Amino acid sequence: MGRLSLRQIPYQNPILVGTFVFALILGAAIVGLVTYHKRWGVLWREWLTTVDHKKIGVMYCLIGLVMLFRGFIDALMIRTQQAIAVGPHSPGYLGALHGYLTPFHAGQIFTAHGLIMVVFAATPLLVGLMNIIVPLQIGARDMAYPYLNALGLWLTAAGAALVMVSLFIGNFAHGGWYGFVPYFELPYSPGVGVDYWLWAFQLSVLGTTLGSINLIATIVKMRAPGMTWMRMPIFTWASLSANLIALTTFPVLMVCLALLASDRYFGTHFYTAGMGGNLMLYNDLFWVWGHPEVYFLILPAFGMMSEIVPTFSEKTLFGYATMVIASFAIGGVSWGVWLHHFFTMAAAPSVNSFYSVTTMLVGIPTGVKVFNWIFTMYRGRVRFELPMMWAVLSLFLLLVGGLTGMMNAFATNDYMWHNGVFVVAHFHLMVLLIAASIFGSVEYWFPKVFGFKLEARWGKAFFWCIVLGTGWVFIPMFLLGFAGMTRRLDYIPYTQWGPYLRVMLVGMGFYILAVAFFFMHLYVSLRDRAKNRVGADAWGTSRSLEWMTHSPVPAYNFAFVPQVHARDEWAWRKEQGVADLKSGPYRDIHMPGNTGVPFVLGALALALAFALTWRIWWLSGLALALCVAVVIVRAFAEDTDTVISAQDVERAERRYHDGEVVPMEEPMGRPTPRPAT
């Protein structure tokens, strides 16, 4: 069994045992509910084997939400530890000298927090939303490669699962989410923690790269007739730019991590100190991906704001063309700024100056976007419904986060506070901006996907608690940054920092309330869904193509592939009074067929990654061989698509027109009759 043995189960740690019991109860409850309602068949047929971009998107979002919750618990532990472990006289519990987390445990927590929030929470949520919305916005029936889409999902799921497994078997890396060499080399980190980190990261890289290929191909090749480039909704443009970044930079990370793996597993010395290795190469390769990655995250968020703001200002977006250019300018500049993450590595002054300037250049297109949103609101009929509230919050967070980013961009400043909590506060505002846009667009597009709006009362309470929590946590953090506090401390040597750290706990209290309100928000919305039913155009003032089709969206998206006439097609149709026109009789619709292969491949990838982590060679070999075999077998499959017959389409359309709710998981379509050969 390689390095795996029963001693690797951390049953001495009460926190982990508690978590395990919680996970067990939750898992049992889910299994019980599914069994009780006899839903296993539906779960398998309509969800786990689906290739429908909307369902895949929903599952991406669910993974993102679960991991967001896990990452939040990590954050809670870091904040409480730092509030307790202040000064030499602070108490210690659970075997820790100060606070209740040993340095080893605290290290695992901040490492997992960072990795989870960036690649297993924010990324799946954004990829999920792009998956759902982009094909609808361009009038496509599905993604260009539906099968690949499902594969990306299940690889991401495998990565997330691997991080979760590390809680209960063995341990996780404890040196920070982006890794350090030579510290992450085998002699200095001999445990399995770094291997868990490495393979989980690698799985998500693979999943995201596949997803980016798919979204790019979809946007380039699958647009409805008349959907010219300059008629594409801004969210689609932003997704294109973001995924171009992903496609060009994720492979760099894959190589970066593969070289580290090669050092750890084959004893090569790419990153060793000495022996011809070069430890600075790791930083370089990592951030060649790392900085573009943050723009990969923020561009879709900008796209979401650009959809929400016009809808709730009842105006067309100000400066469409500049918005497109700005999205691509941000994408373009993002390839040339990465060194600002290691200004202090002692590159020549000319090099640091170059990167200072390129980093500041990002401010220009970003500023253009900000003014465009403001001018969209200016003299609009602004309605502060939930999506709009989140979009405005995003705008404020962008201002503070962007300006502090500018402060970091001066290499001279950065020399003083690099690896301090000022930087941490900067990027948290940026990432919270992304989270805020995500929550805004979940509110915004939820009725499109599920056919009813989320209620507003608990939703507003949730919103305001996030606002308060953010202020109470991050304003003190900026102040501590100025005071010189470094990041990732498990023990606070200066007692004068204590009060600030305790004030942050107030903020964490608000965040906890926010989580509770979020669950209430979901629960009440689900309970009262009949009351909050909406038709196709949920908000009444929306403008783009996705609002043209029914809510919830039928499996085939559009009964007729729409002909696009204008930039804001749906707004155009409403103005022209042609919103209800139908064209011709219904036709058979050719759709991709469901398949369990991506799910199986995801499971095998998880087995492979787990086996590599624990160095169980027979299992690694077996899982890899099975992966290859499954791919080959699948290559010979002939029944890969289905046809939804014209009658089925007509029946479904009639039900929609009668105001009936057609549930998302209702099966549609049947295997294509084999063509006579």
Using DSSP's 3-state secondary structure scheme, residue 641 falls into: strand
Q: Which of 283, 71, 70 is nearest to 178 (CA)?
A: 283
Helices H, strands E: what count in the chain?
Answer: 21, 3
Q: Which of residues 348-407 bind other proteins (CB under 8 A)?
A: 348, 350-351
Neighbouring CB atoms inside 10 A of 512's CB total 14
The residue (of 432 and 564) whose beta carbon lies closer to ligand HEM is 432
Binding of ligand HEM at residue 369 (CB under 6 A)?
no
Q: Restricting to residues 165-194, which ones interact with ligand HEM according to CB under 6 A? A: 178
3-state secondary structure of 326: helix
Give the C-alpha separation, 595 to 461, whole Å.
41
User: Which option in ligand HEM, Cu ion, other proteins, none does residue 350 bind, with CB closer than 5 to 8 A by kind?
Assistant: other proteins
Q: Cα–Cα distances in Å, from 255 out to 198, 201, 205, 252, 602?
A: 12, 12, 10, 5, 21
Q: Which of 291, 369, 426, 521 binds Cu ion (CB under 5 A)?
A: 291
Total residues interacting with other proteins, rule: CB under 8 A: 24
CA gap 101, 110 in Å, rounded: 12
Interaction of residue 427 with ligand HEM, rule CB under 6 A: yes
Residue 298 CB, nearest approach to ligand HEM (Å): 4
* 561-591 burial: b if 16+ Cβ within 10 Å, else e: bbebeebbbbbbbbeeeeeeeeeeebeebeb
Q: 87: phi > 0 → left, psi -120 to 50 → alpha, else beta; which?
A: left
Backbone angles phi, psi at 331, to 5 degrees: -60, -45
**Please, which residue, 102 or 278, has the CB nearer to other proteins?**
278
Residue 274 as a binder of other proteins (CB under 8 A): the answer is yes
Minimum gap (Å) between residue 380 Cβ and ligand HEM: 26
Nearer to Cu ion, 253 or 553 (CB): 253
Residue 436 interacts with which of ligand HEM, Cu ion, other proteins, none, CB < 5 to 8 Å by class: none
SS3 readout for 157-180: HHHHHHHHHHHHCCCCCCCCCCCC
Work out how close the CB of 234 gets to other proteins at its nearest, in angstroms, rounded to a whole number: 22
Q: Is 396 in the site for ligand HEM (CB under 6 A)?
A: no
Residues from 288 through 307 that contact ligand HEM (CB under 6 A): 294, 297-298
CA separation, residue 152 to residues 67, 218, 496 (Å): 17, 15, 48
- Between 374 and 578, CB nearer to ligand HEM: 374
- Answer yes or no whether residue 409 interacts with ligand HEM by CB under 6 A: yes
Among 223, 340, 448, 543, binds ligand HEM (CB under 6 A): 340
Token pair for 84: 């307790």
Cα first-last separation, the chain: 51
Among 9, 15, 254, 347, binds other proteins (CB under 8 A): 347
Which residue in the set 52, 307, 414, 648 belongs to the binding site for ligand HEM (CB under 6 A)?
A: 414
- Note whether 278 binds other proteins by CB under 8 A: yes
The residue of the chain with the least Cβ separation from Cu ion equals 291
Which of 236, 366, 594, 620 binds ligand HEM (CB under 6 A)? It is 366
- Partners of 277 in the beta sheet? 274
Closest CA to 434 of 324, 315, 334, 293: 293
Task: Tell the smallest beta-carbon distance from residue 427 to Cu ion (Å).
Answer: 8
3-class DSSP assignment, residue 447: helix
Partner in contact with 307, chosen from other proteins, Cu ion, ligand HEM, none, beta carbon below 5 to 8 Å by kind? none
Counting residues that bind ligand HEM (by CB under 6 A) gives: 23
Closest contact distance (angstroms) between CB of 633 and other proteins is 17
Q: Which does 362 bind (CB under 5 to 8 A by kind): other proteins, Cu ion, ligand HEM, none?
A: ligand HEM
Residues 208-267 that bind other proteins (CB under 8 A): 220, 248, 252
Q: How many CA atoms lie within 13 A of 121 on its CB side?
A: 23
Q: Which residues bind other proteins (CB under 8 A)?
A: 220, 248, 252, 273-280, 284, 288, 335-336, 339, 345-348, 350-351, 590, 675
